[in-house]
Amino acid sequence: MLWISLKFALRDFKLRKFASALTIIAIMSGLAAFTALRIASVSMEVTAKYMVERALAGEVIVYGDGLLDLSELALPDFERIPGVKRVVPLVITLGYMRGSMVLIVGAKASDLQFVVENYVAGGGFNASDEGVAVLDQVITRDKNIGVGDIVLLKPQAAKAAYPLRVVGVAYVSLEIQGMGSAAPYVIVPLREAQHMMEKEGYVTLAMLVLDKGVDPERVVEMVRGEYPNAKIFKREDILKVVTKVVSLIDTLLLAVTFIGLAVAIMGTANTIMSNVREHSREIAILRALGAKGSHVALIFILESLFYGVIGGILGVGLGVLGAFSSKDLIREMGMPAFRLQIEWGTLLVSFAVAVLVSVGSSIYPSIRASRISPVRVMKNE
Amino acid sequence: MSEGREEALKLVNITKAYQMGEQTIEVLKNVNLTVKRGELLVVMGPSGSGKSTLLNIAGTLDRPTSGKVYIGGVDVTGMSEEELSIFRCRHIGFVFQSYNLLRNFTARENVMIPMLLSGIYNVEEARERAETLLSIVGLEEHAEKFPSQLSGGQQQRVAIARALANDPDVILMDEPTGNLDVRSASNVAALIVWLNRVFGQTFIVVTHNPELAKISTRTIYIAGGRLYSEPPSGLLSVKIGNEVDSLRLRNAQIKLLQVKAKSLLRLIKSGAATPQIEREVEEIEKRIADIAKLIEKESR
């Protein structure tokens, strides 16, 4: 029967070129939007998680009490908590460099790995270095600054500007400057930052890097036990919030693409329904010759499957192209840039949606077709 | 049992009634018919006599209101739709007035379809058999052609080859020559006779063409939902006689002409008249006068 159904469907498909093309276009366009937005949302989610994980190297982040900074005296207490592998103290403040706002990050030389992903030029600083800085490649590109140059950095709260020698240009993959008010990084030694801020002995926050398998909640409870007024965040909580926001965006985007998919469903159902009407006599002939209802239904499901497979392949291809365009568009709109995550899973899901849309929309017409009585073959004589 | 095997088709006390509102219309009334293997039975009857319903029931396309249908000795009356599909495919062949070939399939493929539906043959076997069947009906050269590329007679021969595909117990034909010219009809009739005599194939041919009755091994008649072995009186005669009220018809004709004349006069008044319309009005007036004279003459 598959032979008959395939021939019937294929020849009908060829004969009704215009209707077939329109149906394929309907599926293709609906699916292209779905694929593009799916890729974009997966990419955004992955990028957002990556950004959070990179920005927050530690699983637990401890701030001081209210507006106050955290005393360095607390750091050994944190180090003593079982399961805490490392404590990374950071001073973070805003400043200006060559007329642009920058994010000053004070870090120990030994903790640079938690702030910088890789160096584009030069390298990090040593614990004994003074008056040095590692700059974000964004500002070095914009301001034409190179390794060895002397730059003036003025923290927002300080009265004076400090000359710094650039020892390295870093690639900060998270490009956090794209997020709202955040600005390019200028990384200086921790002591240097404390000195600039006139806050020796204090840090803005401490990131606690935990041993594998340690429950962050337990560490949070222990920190809270000793420092009840400290503000404590878990990275997983921040990740949850980010995931929630991305999911919300994802849901909204999906809702939009469902309109396109609904058009594809209606278009396919309409084409198959009109095929059934047009072939009602031939269906009756087949039934009279001994075809079962399921045989007849198979013809139209197969025909619909052709539309789905062709529309699916074209739609997925077009969707990938669309995702590249949407990436550029999102960047132009000033939103955070993201790396496109084109995964086989996403493409397969999109293709499966095309197949489901096409086969699903053929169910009702196919049932109608299977119910055509063989007696009609005589009545229409 | 052996008697059953000798019977290609047996209808026992078949009644078919349709409900039209509150009225019940009996299309077949207690029909009994036995067709032996190798018979070429022609069933003759006018339109509305119930012959198509008889064919539908004999072919399991429709179910009787009461009675039993046996095909090749098997009682098919209680079978489900799915069972009937399989049974129909393997035991019954159909030939229709308008050929009913599948337009998107070649002649060969049309013949292959019942074989593939039967589940007995694979594609290769079905193709081989289809080619043999097409050569039997003299169409081996046309195997690759689509129905639209064949003449009516050729299409009907493909339909006959298709009906033969699964070696059916009986082939049911509904006006097989109804759409054919005299020459093609004669060829198809000759093929039916040949298949009956040489192959021993059983045929039931339903028709109102008296020419087909000449090829039968037996002819029966159907009128008013009943079967007759002899033509019932007045079966095919046209009754135009005293019961027609000629005065009423002539008055109706005058009325029709008067309405037409009135409409044409309105056109003349509106200025849209052409010389042809004016001539037509004159013609109508003349015809009305002639009919009036005829009525007057008949009433004397």
Residue recorded with tokens 């087909």: B212
- Answer whether B122 touches A (CB < 8 Å): no
Q: What share of chain A is helix, strand, coil (3-state, %, to 5)?
A: 60, 20, 20
Domain contains A62: no
pLDDT over threshold 80, residue A380: no
**Does A287 sit within 8 Å of B100, measured CB to CB?**
no
For the packed helices B123-136 and B107-118, what is the interaxial angle rounded to 10 degrees? 130
Q: Does the structure's ipTM exceed the value 0.95?
A: no
Query: Between these two residues, B146 and A259, which has the higher pLDDT value?
Result: B146
Residue A357 belongs to what domain range? 2-52+241-379
CATH of the domain at B195: 3.40.50.300
Q: For tokens 């921790």, what's the residue?
A: A190
Do B209 and B160 lie in one domain? The reply is yes
pLDDT at B150: 95
Task: Decide if A288 and B116 are in contact by the 8 Å CB cutoff.
Answer: no
The residue whose two tokens read 């009135």 is B262
Q: What is the pLDDT, as a whole number, of residue A178?
A: 39
Under DSSP, the state recorded for A74 is G
> Is the same domain home to A44 and A147?
no
Spatial CB neighbours of B265, under 8 Å, sequence gap ≥ 6? B281
B159 assigned to some structural domain: yes
pLDDT tens-digit readout, B243-270: 456 777 788 888 888 888 888 888 888 8
**Are B96 and A3 within 8 A, CB to CB?**
no
If you average pLDDT over residues A92-116, what whole number do you get? 87
**Whole-angstrom distance, CA of residue B128 vs CA of residue B144:** 13
Residue A86 and residue A220 share a domain: yes
Domain count, chain B: 2
pLDDT in tens, A25-74: 989 988 898 888 888 877 877 777 776 666 666 788 888 876 678 888 88
Examine residue B238 and state whether it is found in any structural domain, yes or no.
no
Q: Does an H or E element contain A329, and which?
A: helix A293-332
Nearest CB neighbour to A289, from listed B109, B113, B175? B113
Mean pLDDT of A284-310: 91
- Option in A11, A290, A377 nearest B85 (CB): A290
- Do A343 and A298 have their domain in common? yes
* Averaged confidence pLDDT in chain A: 84
Q: Do A288 and B62 touch (CB under 8 A)?
A: no
Q: Which domain holds residue B178?
A: 2-228
Rounded-to-integer distance, Cα A366 and Cα A363, Å: 5
Q: Which of A68-77, A163-172, A324-333 has the lowest mean pLDDT?
A: A324-333
Whole-angstrom Cα Rg for chain A? 31
Let me know whether A110 and A211 are in one domain: yes
B252 plus B220 within the same structural domain: no
Pairwise CB contact (< 8 Å): B98 & A381: yes
Indicate if B117 and B184 belong to the same structural domain. yes
Shared domain for A209 and A110, answered yes or no, is: yes
Compare all CA atoms of chain B with the CA of A281 and give the residue at the minimum distance.
B100
Give the three-class secondary structure for A58. Answer: coil
Closest CA to A8 of A248, A279, A380, A287: A279
Q: Looking at the 3D structure of chain A, how many domains does it have? A: 2
**What predicted TM-score, i.e. pTM, was given to this entire model?**
0.66
- Closest-CA residue in chain A for B89? A290
B114 contacts chain A (CB < 8 A): yes
Are A75 and A44 contained in the same domain? no
